[in-house]
Structure 1
Amino acid sequence: MKRLNQLMAVLALGLASLSAAHAAADQELLKRGEYLARAGDCMACHSAAGKPAYAGGLAIDSGHGMIYSTNITPDKQHGIGNYSEQQFAAAVRHGVRADGRPLYPAMPYPSYAKVSDDDIHALYAYFMEGVKPVATTPPASDMSFPFNLRWGMKVWNIFFANDKPFKEQAGWSGEIKRGAYLVEGLGHCGSCHTPRGFAMNEKASDSSQELFLAGGELNGWAVPSLRGMPRWSAQDIVDYLQSGRNAHSSVAGEMSLVVEHSTSHLKDEDLKAIAAYLKTLTAVPARSSGIKPQGVEATAKKLTAAKDLTLGERLYLDNCVACHFVNGRGAPGIFPVIDGASVVNADNPNALLNVIMAGARTPSTARAPSVLVMPGFGHRLSDSEVAELATFVRQGWSNDSAAVSSREVAKVRATLHQHP
């Protein structure tokens, strides 16, 4: 009897150890899924201000109507609680809901098609067991005809959706492969930074194609190329993704949300892998605008002398010089460089006009908790004054971009009123 009791005690101890090991493995899986959800930036789109995380309801202006993000909490009635892992994978990778209806490609499933089976499994475990269910139903998407006919997305998917798994290129190191997997897949960087075709399709899907990450346009904002990024070092890229600022620039617009909810939460080694991958891409050749810039020394000298100034130059001295200085170089990590900045020299000046009129603020991140704010000047500058200021900035120092008209400013100001 004594021997039997000893045997039972050993067996109980073994079962307890096994149970603890399973519990630890489950927690590790949930932790990994949470990290991957950050890498995929799921929270930014599926969370609305003042509402619980992942409960959906964020309004996305598609240009053809409003799309409202869905509730992806495990609530069985309002969310995805009844999804099997196979149905979850179909939604993430192929844009097909559990009921068979197609999703709009505001959900970046053409990029998520590259997500591995193991990562899908971890994501599914996290959303089913690591996210709190929320019993709310977001508003229904309101698209104009014919985009409100969801069956049309099946045709779009046939011609434009990419459902190929991730494929590494010959000669990649392990670090570059990891960076490529994050950028091309979960990070879905191509959704914003790759030019789009007539059907709003991305013109390229991976680094084997020259248009991939070659720059585009999002909601009227020019989006810069990420190919090679010759003006930035790999560490500049890491700093920007980690803190929303670096020695050259700081985030604005949609990228602020990406840094806040996604990239600032990634591990150092993953950010370094992303930077290493981006530096392997062939840079987009610099375009020739035909505009003769004022010259770096000439601009700084004239602003310092403050004589015979144009209206744009006077406005710069009155509103901008305290932070960006007469040389347009700002202060590293604090005030962005505007001499040579992509947002300044973009063919489409809307992003610059948005920043001038509405201002910008950096997100608070673990590496950079303080929030840096650029005030907006739209309340005190007229359309013609904003146009003059923007024109000076786009043609001062080494910048060589076209002048801005009052009409262009008025159009941007109208959008600020619609979406304050």
Structure 2
Amino acid sequence: MKRQLLNRLVMANLLLMPLCGSAFAADQASGDQADLIKRGEYLSRAGDCMACHSVPGKPDYAGGLPIKSDLGVIYSTNITPDKNVGIGNYTEEQFSDAVREGIRADGSHLYPAMPYPDYAKVNDEDIKALYAYFMHGVKASDYQPPKTDLSFPFSQRWGMMFWNWTFGNDDGFEPIKGASDEVNRGAYLVEGLGHCGSCHTPRGVGMQEKAYDHTDEDFLAGGDLNGWPVPPLRGIAHWTKQEIIDYLQTGRNDKAGVGGEMTSVVYNSTSHMTDEDAASIAAYIKHLAGDDKPAAVDAAKAQATTDKLTSAKDLTLGERLYIDNCAACHFVDGKGAAKAFPQLDGASIVNADSPDGLINVILKGAQLPSTEKAPSELKMPGFAHRLDDNEVAMLASFIRSGWNNNAPGVTAEDVKKVRESLE
């Protein structure tokens, strides 16, 4: 009797073993898929997909952001897994073609407002994770964003194949020989997913990025975005590695505060990166600096500006306006307050060839984003209602020539153009 019972128990265990193995395998597969989706979510942040494909009041990734270009306004598309207006019917291969080659599932071409020439460097593993996230980690939305309707001939998307042949890029990522793993991780993020070159690299005659990687000196050499001067990243010699990390994670450091389009990049993308990835980007940027040294400081000139503002005697209109409107936060020495009020002495936006960025900030103001490591939203008020065009010109001219700054003056006409663009 006991022997029969034992035999039955053994037989039952043998029958159950395949079932238990299947359940374990299913749980393992489910766990692997969850990890892949989580990885894809992180990569979507690194690629700044949220910033371009989301607008306030609409579901995440449902599109509709108007992107200004010299060709007209291009609206971002719905990239949720909705099967009618989104990408729910895309295969992984079609998703890869859209991201890395700019070709939609229906065979039509995307405009390079979608930075697919940069995303060409994204590897297969990361494409797989991104696909898993957008198919299974994003909530589907049936919101239909406005359709892009450019004038002829730019409305003919098939013509983009010729642009791609002439100006595009389909080269995968090539590690920097002899560089550390940290530097190469930074290069992969900056040149690929981060598509930093789309803003920080000058554009050519076809509105293309003049370079797509570190091998060309034009890469990250600075540019212009909707009237804003975009500073070069190719060797920020005057910032330490930690200051670059702070800027990426919080939008501020001891020297500067974020402004313009970069505010959205910090808020939606770089502030969500791991400490290791932020450090790798900083290491790559410092690697590009090589042996570059910070610009020489003219201590006597800087002190002369500080002394005159301190004495408050025989001030020009620009100097008086600075004392009345700016000195409380940026101080008479133009140094500001670390991680709070940006430094004006030596600032890139102040010394840019174009004064439009500085004028924009004076008129419109600026606000530092709230991030996990710097939750405070410090805000500079705009002075458009308080200062007329001539006054803004005089104030900007003083700032661009005071302390160690040495940039051309600003005219009332310069200010008028920026004011009209804001209105």
Asked if Structure 1 and Structure 2 have the same fold, meaning a TM-score greater than 0.5 normalized by the shorter chain, the answer is yes
Deviation at 1:283, TM superposition (A): 6.9
- Asked whether the equivalents of residues 238 and 293 of structure 2 are also in contact (C-alpha less than 8 Å), the reply is no
Instruction: Name the SS of the counterpart of 2:169 in structure 1.
Output: coil
Q: Could you give the per-residue CA deviations for residues 377-413 of structure 1, whole angstroms, max 9, x where no partner exists?
A: 1111000000000000000001000000000000000
Deviation at 1:252, TM superposition (A): 0.7
In 1, Cα distance between the equivalents of 2:395 and 2:290? Answer: 30
Deviation at 1:301, TM superposition (A): 0.3
In 2, Cα distance between the equivalents of 1:212 and 1:137? Answer: 36
Could you tell me which of 107, 124, 127 is aligned with 1:120? 127
Aligned ranges 1:55-204 → 2 under 5 Å: 55-204=62-211
Instruction: Name the SS of the counterpart of 1:251 in structure 2.
Output: coil
Q: Could you give the per-residue CA deviations for residues 144-187 of structure 1, whole angstroms, max 9, x where no partner exists?
A: 33222212211100001100000012101111110000000000
Aligned ranges 1:242-391 → 2 under 5 Å: 242-282=249-289, 295-391=301-397
Deviation at 1:2, TM superposition (A): 2.3
Q: Could you give the per-residue CA deviations for residues 343-394 of structure 1, whole angstroms, max 9, x where no partner exists?
A: 0000001000000000000111100111010100111100000000000000
Deviation at 1:143, TM superposition (A): 1.6
Instruction: Name the SS of the counterpart of 1:170 in structure 2.
Output: coil
Deviation at 1:8, TM superposition (A): 2.5
The equivalent residue for 2:53 is 46
Deviation at 1:293, TM superposition (A): 11
> Structure 1 pair 105/200, CA: closer, same or farther in 2 (3 Å)?
same
Structure of greater Rg: 2
Give structure 2 stretches of 5+ with no counterpart: 1-7
* Matched letter for residue 215 of structure 2: S
Instruction: Name the SS of the counterpart of 2:157 in structure 1.
Output: coil
- Asked whether the equivalents of residues 225 and 284 of structure 1 are also in contact (C-alpha less than 8 Å), the reply is no
Do residues 30 (structure 1) and 49 (structure 2) align? no
* Matched letter for residue 352 of structure 1: L
In 1, Cα distance between the equivalents of 2:391 and 2:206? Answer: 37
Instruction: Name the SS of the counterpart of 1:217 in structure 2.
Output: strand
Give structure 1 stretches of 5+ with no counterpart: none
* Matched letter for residue 3 of structure 1: V
- Asked whether the equivalents of residues 194 and 216 of structure 1 are also in contact (C-alpha less than 8 Å), the reply is yes
Instruction: Name the SS of the counterpart of 2:73 in structure 1.
Output: strand
Instruction: Name the SS of the counterpart of 1:201 in structure 2.
Output: coil
Deviation at 1:295, TM superposition (A): 1.6
* Matched letter for residue 155 of structure 1: F
Deviation at 1:282, TM superposition (A): 3.6
Instruction: Name the SS of the counterpart of 1:5 in structure 2.
Output: helix
The equivalent residue for 1:393 is 399
The equivalent residue for 2:422 is 416
Q: How many aligned residue pairs are there?
A: 414
> Structure 2 length normalisation: TM-score?
0.95
- Asked whether the equivalents of residues 40 and 186 of structure 1 are also in contact (C-alpha less than 8 Å), the reply is yes
In 1, Cα distance between the equivalents of 2:212 and 2:35? Answer: 32
- Asked whether the equivalents of residues 97 and 104 of structure 2 are also in contact (C-alpha less than 8 Å), the reply is yes
- Asked whether the equivalents of residues 293 and 400 of structure 1 are also in contact (C-alpha less than 8 Å), the reply is no
- Asked whether the equivalents of residues 242 and 367 of structure 1 are also in contact (C-alpha less than 8 Å), the reply is yes
CA RMSD of aligned residues (A): 1.7
The equivalent residue for 2:410 is 404
The equivalent residue for 2:223 is 216
- Asked whether the equivalents of residues 293 and 399 of structure 1 are also in contact (C-alpha less than 8 Å), the reply is no
In 2, Cα distance between the equivalents of 1:12 and 1:152? Answer: 56
Aligned-pair identity (%): 59
The equivalent residue for 2:28 is 21
Could you tell me which of 215, 240, 265 is aligned with 2:247? 240
Deviation at 1:19, TM superposition (A): 1.5
Deviation at 1:294, TM superposition (A): 8.7
Instruction: Name the SS of the counterpart of 1:151 in structure 2.
Output: helix
In 1, Cα distance between the equivalents of 2:322 and 2:332? Answer: 9
- Asked whether the equivalents of residues 294 and 398 of structure 1 are also in contact (C-alpha less than 8 Å), the reply is no
